[in-house]
Amino acid sequence: METAFFERMTVSDLLRAMAHGLLTAEELTGRCLKRIELLNPLLHAVISVNPHALAEARKVDRLRASGFPLGPLSGIPVLVKDNIDTLGLPTTAGSEALRHALPHRDAELVVRLRRSGAIILGKANLTEWAAYRSEIPHNGWSPVGGQTRNPYVLDRSPFGSSSGSAVAAAAGLAPVTIGTETFGSIVSPSGMNGVVGFKPSLGRVSGAGIVPISPYQDTAGPITRNVADAGAVFEVIATSRRAIRLEPGLLAGTRIGLWSGVRKSASHQDENRVLAEATAKLHELGATIVEVDLSVFDTSEVLSYEFKVSINDYLSSIGGDGPHDLDELIAFRSHPAERTSDLGLAKFERAQDSDMARRPSDYLEERVQITEEARDSLDRVFVRHRLDAIMSPTNGRAPEISERDFAWLHSCGPAAVGGYPSITVPAGYADSQLPLGVSFTGRRNRDEELLGLAYSFEQATLARKRPLYLPTLPV
């Protein structure tokens, strides 16, 4: 099967090849489109492709040939999660309800990507409504895009909600992709699909033009095959930028906290082994490791109210045919593809009733209190132990797609609720085939420092291997 680019090629390598005439943006974009055509019937990672992608790539090639100054991602194809507004393409959030709704403008981060010269290749599949619809979402499934599959073992879950973005990055459908996160939706699928997922500090990437859940937790970020590419994309989409140090070794005196994460059960042998191996490697690099414990805060009540307010604002602002508020969205339940009878609309319905259960001011007070407590809790750990980052396991072994009761593991909560940056890096495998990642949480608004630390770990381990598209695990 033809690859769009060599497995180890970074964005920098691709840009260098184009600058030296070894590759054109049109060739690269065409290869990515061909790879989507070949693999998407198997993976269901992409919902739609941009019909103008090749024309946009040819324009970049003409500008490059003329000597015109180019942006930092000129000619690099990018897939964006299909809850991010992209002019000319529907933003469906995976739902039939929005299949014919059209945004009036690009999301702010898409504006920044286009200005950088990036080619918007298309829209990636996701867990419908970013997993904010039913109590137990089918990870990676949406009525519009179907069931996304883990490229390492096809009958295994890709997790979510940025399932398509993570799978597309892992399978090389595009050099880089964009996901979004409210609670683990970038780092969790990235860990489970063997790629790097970076969730920036809240506010470092604009949320304008993204189908919302909560303005207090939502953020977008890059999903890539390596840390350098995540840094290259972040430098473009971030609203404020500082220099990123990408060096193989850790800075002298680096101190890292070690947290075991939140676990459903104690049976996580592979995850414990990979975490121990990561700890040993950081010791080799000269880091001091300190065991810590983190507090996890429940925001489910406030999210209901925040979702209702935010989604009503968003739906009232878009064009085309579709619901104009949450009430009309709930009424769309009759569409057979939405599988309302077995999946339900529990989160939608709870959100719709939220402002009758409590006053809006009560929700705001609770949100302020939770955010302050989450940040105080994290800051105390950072200060007490003089930490540069906190390392934890990103994910457990991928369950079968149909499996609902499995031994889950995550560590995304503190960073998600506090608005702190986190990044997952491939670190090992369960059963030799199912990817496991480790996450690093950094100090708030010190995203560039966190990227540098993750790069040092990645270069010392080089744990990622390409997916083999196995139908199931060997017996």
Ordered by start, the domain boundaries in the chain are 11-298+371-461, 300-366
Rounded to an integer, what distance in angstroms lies between the CA atom of residue 282 and that of residue 258?
Answer: 11
Catalytic-labelled residue, pool 48, 95, 142, 161: 161
For 102-150, the pLDDT digits (tens) are 899 999 999 999 999 999 999 999 999 999 999 988 999 999 999 999 9
Confidence of residue 1 (pLDDT cuts 50, 70, 90): very low
265 is catalytic: no
- Mean pLDDT (whole number) for 366-381: 98
81 is catalytic: yes
Confidence of residue 391 (pLDDT cuts 50, 70, 90): very high
Catalytic-labelled residue, pool 48, 74, 81, 347: 81
Alpha-carbon distances, residue 427 vs 74, 148, 437 (angstroms): 31, 23, 5
Residues 6+ apart with CB under 8 A from 19: 64
pLDDT above 70 (res 2): no
pLDDT above 60 (res 464): yes
pLDDT above 90 (res 336): no
185 is catalytic: yes
Confidence of residue 260 (pLDDT cuts 50, 70, 90): very high
For 269-310, the pLDDT digits (tens) are 999 999 999 999 999 999 999 999 999 999 999 999 999 999
Rounded to an integer, what distance in angstroms lies between the CA atom of residue 347 and that of residue 88?
Answer: 30
Percent of the chain whose pLDDT exceeds 70? 100
Report if pTM > 0.85: yes
Catalytic-labelled residue, pool 116, 162, 185, 456: 185
Residue recorded with tokens 């045919």: 321
Instruction: Compare 405 and 452 and report the one with higher pLDDT.
Output: 452
> What's the fold here for domain 11-298+371-461?
Amidase signature (AS) enzymes (3.90.1300)
pLDDT above 70 (res 405): yes
